[in-house]
Structure 1
């Protein structure tokens, strides 16, 4: 085994221990999440057990990190995110992140229409944060009907009935962060500050 590979493998244990402690987990917690025994996890962290793909895959899922981050592999290839737009419901979603799990980032374009569509609220598990880049966004959230101009942000639990559209039929561009239920961003909209667009957030 060459020295570089050996150094990479030797660094796996301390990296796994640091990830576990950062998340406030015990060996028993990680064992319950991964199905890997506590004794094996302990040997991995101390360097007495060599890391294998079979062991690292469930740990990557449990810690919600790419496999490369567990082994500290050097970045190779093209570092750019290759954007693949998704078109549906008169909108174009452009993924801005490719990390599995966790919070996902999108740029959303709501296309201009001669006559704005009527709202059709939907619900699903998760939490969403959005920021209007251009245009005037109509956000229907439960029994509230809000208009957000450029520069305004909102966040909400997506288990509430919600709908996004254009407030005036023009195109709207916005950034969206979406995560599973319970995963929230730290910036909060002030619910008492009047919106410039006539609604309240």
Structure 2
């Protein structure tokens, strides 16, 4: 085994354990979901059992991730470029994405829609920190002004939208798994005004 493959092997084992712990699952719970014995899973996590492809596929599925994400080399995506949504005055930089959460930096120039019918609602929670400028967070009919260095946290089942006030603003948005999935499942014909991804 080369040093590089040994490092990847160790990384995959740590990811399995970290994803299990992030879900709040015991060894027994993940073993049940992956149709493995608890002792087998324990040996996989602590390096006493060889990683088999069929078990990795089963574990990835049980952990609600993909085999590619489970075995990807972390050094592959060090530099990211922004995506530009000129129609909505947005520029986005994905900062972090993993099965448990996503972090996205975003620059906005347009105000949010104030009509709840144009806002999104989906399971999950979102957090945001304003890096510069002033952001407006619409939660249903309520309007919150968030200044530089202020933060907000909200359940995404409430219709919501985020935009800028009085000029450009930059925010750092953090999504839990359900919130990220909710934004990914929205169709392209929906107004993307509040999408932070």
Partner of 1:41: 41
Partner of 1:147: 145
Residue 32 of structure 1, CA deviation: 2.4
Give, in whole Å, the separation in 1 of the partners of 2:145 and 2:11: 50
Give, in whole Å, the separation in 1 of the partners of 2:19 and 2:163: 42
Tell me which structure has the larger Cα radius of gyration.
1
Residue 152 of structure 1, CA deviation: 1.1
Q: Could you state the TM-score of these two structures normalised by the residue count of structure 2?
A: 0.64
> What whole-Å deviation, never above 9, does each CA across 1:149-188 have from its counterpart, x for those lacking one?
21111110011011112223x1111111111359xxxxxx
Please identify, of 35-44 and 136-145, the stretch whose mean Cα deviation from structure 2 is larger. 35-44
Residue 59 of structure 1, CA deviation: 2.8
Q: Could you state the TM-score of these two structures normalised by the residue count of structure 1?
A: 0.63
Aligned residues of 1:14 and 1:46 also touching (Cα < 8 A) = yes
Structure 2 residue 86 is the aligned partner of structure 1 residue 83: no
Q: How many positions carry a matched residue from both structures?
A: 172
Partner of 1:50: 50
Residue 145 of structure 1, CA deviation: 1.0
Aligned residues of 1:9 and 1:51 also touching (Cα < 8 A) = no
Please identify, of 13-22 and 27-36, the stretch whose mean Cα deviation from structure 2 is larger. 13-22
When residues 50 and 9 of structure 1 are mapped into structure 2, their CA distance, relative to the original with a 3 A threshold, is farther
Structure 2 residue 70 is the aligned partner of structure 1 residue 67: yes
When residues 97 and 43 of structure 1 are mapped into structure 2, their CA distance, relative to the original with a 3 A threshold, is closer
Please identify, of 19-28 and 134-143, the stretch whose mean Cα deviation from structure 2 is larger. 19-28
Q: Choose the corresponding residue for 1:172, options 169, 173, 182.
A: 169
Residue 108 of structure 1, CA deviation: 1.2
Aligned residues of 2:28 and 2:38 also touching (Cα < 8 A) = yes
Q: More helix per residue: 1 or 2?
A: 2
Partner of 2:160: 162
